[in-house]
Amino acid sequence: MSNERPVAEAVAYRGLPLPNVPEDLVIPNVLGLDFDERLWDVWFRPLVLNVSQGYFVNILRVRKSGILSRHRHTGPVHATTLKGKWHYLEHPWWATEGSHAFEPPGDIHTLEVPEGVEEMVTLFHVTGAYIYVDADGKALGVEDVFSKLQLAQDHYEKVGLGRDYVQQFVR
């Protein structure tokens, strides 16, 4: 076997699909913010809810300034800011439009959208859980892919899309 990348021909794979591989998931227009408001679940729009690997990918949309939450992550988080800006009270950096942030597991931070920001939109890839904590670090609650799935089911049922609408995002 060579370490060089083989030249591929413009022919689709002809073999049988590998077992237990889920379908690809393609969601059009995720960056367009002019779609059906029912798709938003309290500022949380799921893109992938991966229950088999314990992560979720979502777009967080916030239309007001203020504190969202103080939390600690059990796994790594990647965040790409699509619109507006935000930061953590505990850190000097700002996540501004077009920036990417990596949040290491175990870091405790308090998310704030500052005054003057009409809308903040960020794509998050969260592995593991959020542990919501008070100012001293005492655990107050936990949120993970399973609780996000439950919240999304409840939301989609409430807005008339049906509980099963969320199944398209589950892997």
Q: How high is the mean pLDDT in each 10-residue block of the chain (171 residues)?
A: 77 79 66 61 82 95 90 94 95 95 93 94 96 94 96 92 95 94
Q: What is the DSSP letter of 8?
A: P
User: CATH number for the domain including 68?
Assistant: 2.60.120.10
Q: Is residue 126 part of a domain?
A: yes
In the sheet where 120-127 sits, what is the strand order? 44-50, 55-62, 120-127, 77-83, 100-103
Query: What pLDDT, on the 0 to 100 scale, is given for residue 94?
Result: 96
Query: What pLDDT, on the 0 to 100 scale, is given for residue 145?
Result: 97
Query: What pLDDT, on the 0 to 100 scale, is given for residue 64?
Result: 87
Q: Is residue 88 part of a domain?
A: yes
User: In terms of residue numbers, what domain contains 96?
Assistant: 37-169
